Amino acid sequence: TQLLEQSPQFLSIQEGENLTVYCNSSSVFSSLQWYRQEPGEGPVLLVTVVTGGEVKKLKRLTFQFGDARKDSSLHITAAQPGDTGLYLCAGGRRGGFKTIFGAGTRLFVKA
């Protein structure tokens, strides 16, 4: 069974602080996706990384795929209350039928 473990499970920080969320697995994935989910809604894709060592930036969010394609991190600079939500990582394999989701990191940014 492929598992994706996310840490921390919960994070509460002040506006303006920086944070990093981790997604780890013992298995190799062809792609790693990060989603954000707000209360009462379905997850929405933030980014997809496919190359080992790849770094992608989305405004204040920086995503990195590990060299061995087994782990990923999400770094948020100067967090804002609008960043509050559940962050999910998900791994996929080319030619596979299913995507494996982590349990998520629930982030709360206080104004």
Q: Which residue ranges make up the site for other proteins (CB under 8 A)?
A: 9, 30-31, 33, 40-45, 48, 88, 90, 92-94, 96-99, 101-104
Three-state DSSP class for 60?
Answer: coil
Separation between Cα atoms, residue 24 and residue 97, nearest integer Å: 21
Choice between 98 and 111, CB closer to other proteins:
98
Q: Which residue has 């999910």 as its token pair?
A: 88
| Closer of 66 and 104 to other proteins (Cβ) | 104
86: nearest Cα among 10, 22, 7, 3: 10
CB of 20 to other proteins, least distance (A): 19
CB of 30 to other proteins, least distance (A): 6
Q: Residue 25's closest CA among 100, 105, 104, 106?
A: 100
Name which of 16 and 52 has its Cβ closer to other proteins. Answer: 52
Minimum distance between the CB of residue 87 and other proteins, rounded to whole angstroms? 11
Q: Which residue has the tokens 């990093």?
A: 20
